Structure 1
């Protein structure tokens, strides 16, 4: 599989560094506050997931959208608007996920260092521009990438744009990420190859079914395994 003309495009959150675990911890703390008198925990979480899906479609990604979703979920579960004190609690939970400090996943820096000596590397991440750029800066990884792109959403149109922007040959270009919905499915629909590296805390809204028969999707269990193939 290893070729000198390959281009590797990397996702960021939960591929290069930990991200969604922060949100999961904040959500668990939120559920502690609303259950009871809200429905049982799984039902309350399902309500929040639905609200987040609607708000992401309307407002995009970012911690402010997360705070809005918590407030709307509280109102729906309790049948009333949150008090000022309760709103302050949602803001505190949001602050807990918005720090710019970054925890790299094991072996990421060393693996990128080796890959960058053989291939062109690009970074493609979705989300709030300022928040994602802060994480890229804090990671210390920007120097490994030819370009860093922060986009509102990662869909088929974005992958086609990326391929045109960088003159990518689909047969030797690979999208590397943990999200079936954002990294694998749309990249494949745009004609690129893909490398799926699952993360146990991938956001539920980033889940999607993958075709097990698709030979142009490489399944790995760890980021460090990339050097064995590229």
Structure 2
């Protein structure tokens, strides 16, 4: 009998299980509307992105860092000449984002329910602790996960640690996510399998080139394909049939 090669499954949260980037895009659009006197939308959007990247080591990922970056960008492009009402508007946008209902992506619940009785499921997500906990609770998916890991960032060391602690090591772990930069490349570097499920909207910070012909990488458009991929891996002699 062939020994199972995947024994634990990791899932990203934002834009893998539920919508997330759409709300950032919508809020950014409203933010740019407030700054029309200080430049064109493309330039202002680029300024905001530059500030966000600069602030990641300070604020980390998530809505709160995004709101602070919007405020900083507004002050920079206006040379501090913005009316207090504009800053109040930015804060209001942030509160709306933090209270937005969670919208599951298609077939997520059905897929997790089918897998949860067969494998330990681990939610591996980065961002603000309170907000990620809120979204998980609102999603109704919490009971399907055997463990939840909310981390400040995702690296190969993160996946090695999580799959060692929650499974049989990274070599027998499989990570599912939409971000090549955060979910796929570091999981592969740790020695895990990975399933890339692209989302229509992905933050430009997460854009990197996709690996070519990596034996442990699988690319699918629908999360329901995860079970089929595991069967292919565990049913093959070398675990690498694509």
TM value normalised by structure 1: 0.93
Instruction: Report the CA distance shift for 1:4/1:211 in structure 2 as closer, same or farther (over 3 A).
Output: closer
| Unmatched 5+ stretches in structure 1 | none
For residue 137 of structure 2, what is the aligned residue in structure 1? 137
Instruction: Tell me if the contact between 1:124 and 1:150 (Cα under 8 Å) persists in the aligned partners.
Output: yes
| CA–CA separation in structure 1 for the residues paired with 2:82 and 2:196 | 40
Instruction: Report the CA distance shift for 1:181/1:104 in structure 2 as closer, same or farther (over 3 A).
Output: same
For residue 178 of structure 2, what is the aligned residue in structure 1? 178
| CA–CA separation in structure 1 for the residues paired with 2:103 and 2:86 | 30
Partner-residue secondary structure (3-state), 1:175: strand
Q: CA RMSD in A?
A: 1.9
Instruction: Tell me if the contact between 1:102 and 1:138 (Cα under 8 Å) persists in the aligned partners.
Output: yes
Which stretch shows the higher mean deviation, 141-150 or 93-102? 93-102
For residue 30 of structure 2, what is the aligned residue in structure 1? 29
Q: Per-residue displacement from partner, 1:201-227 (whole Å, max 9, x unpaired)?
A: 111112222212212110001112223
Instruction: Tell me if the contact between 1:6 and 1:173 (Cα under 8 Å) persists in the aligned partners.
Output: yes
| CA–CA separation in structure 2 for the residues paired with 1:115 and 1:146 | 11
Instruction: Report the CA distance shift for 1:82/1:63 in structure 2 as closer, same or farther (over 3 A).
Output: farther
Instruction: Tell me if the contact between 1:22 and 1:96 (Cα under 8 Å) persists in the aligned partners.
Output: no
TM value normalised by structure 2: 0.88
Which stretch shows the higher mean deviation, 138-147 or 2-11? 2-11
How is 1:8-87 mapped onto 2 (pairs within 5 angstroms)?
8-38=9-39, 40-87=40-87
